[in-house]
A and B are shown apart, each in its own frame.
Chain A
């Protein structure tokens, strides 16, 4: 199965989204995921690295730098072209799924007198 066609779970989706603006290391990814999801997705550190391992294995992210901070390894991750395309495809799929509901709600609201759809 090509990676572009593979569905993403919510943690993977937000981790990839957190790298859209540029490379980030693990701790920064955690903060960005929480910010982007407005606190709905709070990843535990173990979960983050399981996600990074999967995304790295699927070549959706790559390690762009590695340094030693306080005696421990710290790597920065960036989206690969495949990762960017997978994220774009998943966002389009989610938008299409959402449109199924919002369009129907809009149509039914306009049919009912006195009801407006914001």
Chain B
């Protein structure tokens, strides 16, 4: 047995995540060395390729769900966190751009938004649903319109709560960075051109399309990516399809609604259905032992 061979195998094993190396590394190296010819000093190509491929797969799939239900629940919940982060960023940027602090009601809105986001990140599902509904109600009361991303987040949270067998999985505190990240991503032209107003609709549509393509590619490695994107597209689909308004300036008056299907909303619907199918098939394949 050559020390050089053991050293080279040791280097290849660094491709694996630390947790895996701790549990299996020593035994894996022992088996590799038992299998090797006495004179060999370099790993055979087949073994080296298999080690690198298995190690990379393990790193890419470190958080992969082994059950389609879990993939649905965690994917949709991640979408909720992104939607709420984007809306919280929208709230803050909107106030800054309009130089309007908004007084007590705006502060209450901000607190509800932060509460909803923290509850979603911590996977406190009931608290997240209540805070999100409260946020939407407050938004309607203050701004006199409906925020579809918040509505979509509430609907998705209810769906996540109804999925059987999905254990709670709080996300890390680093997810708090989703607020500045989504703000910069969705509002970059306005932030750059400030204080000049910018028409953001085409930019934001392109951004959503690019993120959808990236998520579709990520689905090859982790089925949850498909469900994340479906969650995000749900908000965009509602916004593009449904219109709700009311007489005067209070939703307690007569409420009107309208459903309009455009090429954009039809494309969003088709992409969502496609992603759901691909996500479900990938989740089932990844659930195989």
- Chain A residues proximal to chain B, CB less than 8 Å: 1, 3, 6-9, 12, 26-27, 30, 44-50, 52-55, 57-58, 60, 69-70, 72-75, 86
Contacts and interface: CB of A to CB of B under 8 A. Distances in A.
Contacts of A86: 289
Nearest to A47: B50
Given A44-B51, A50-B54, A53-B23, 17 more contacts: A6-B287, A6-B289, A7-B287, A7-B288, A26-B27, A27-B31, A30-B31, A45-B47, A45-B50, A45-B51, A46-B28, A49-B27, A49-B31, A50-B57, A50-B58, A70-B1, A72-B30
Most A CB within 10 A of own CB, among B27, B46, B66: B27
Interface residues of B, number: 32
Interface in B49-96: 49-51, 53-55, 57-58, 66-69
B171 interface: no
B5 to A, nearest CB: 13
Contact of B289 (A55, A70, A74, A75): A55
B288 A72 contact: no
22 contacts: A1-B69, A6-B288, A26-B27, A26-B28, A26-B30, A27-B34, A27-B35, A30-B35, A44-B50, A45-B32, A46-B51, A47-B54, A48-B31, A49-B27, A50-B54, A50-B58, A52-B24, A54-B289, A70-B1, A72-B27, A72-B30, A72-B33
B221 interface: no
A45 B31 contact: yes
Nearest to A42: B46
Nearest to A71: B30
Contacts, number: 83
Task: Tell me if B's interface is mostly helix, strand, loop or mixed.
Answer: helix
Task: Tell me if A's interface is mostly helix, strand, loop or mixed.
Answer: helix
B184 to A, nearest CB: 38
Nearest to B20: A53
B26 interface: yes
A14 to B, nearest CB: 12
B29 interface: yes
Given A7-B289, A12-B289, A58-B289, A70 B30 contact: yes
A69 B34 CA distance: 10
Nearest to B51: A46
Contacts of B24: 49, 52-53
A74 B32 CA distance: 12
Contact of A8 (B30, B33, B49, B289): B289
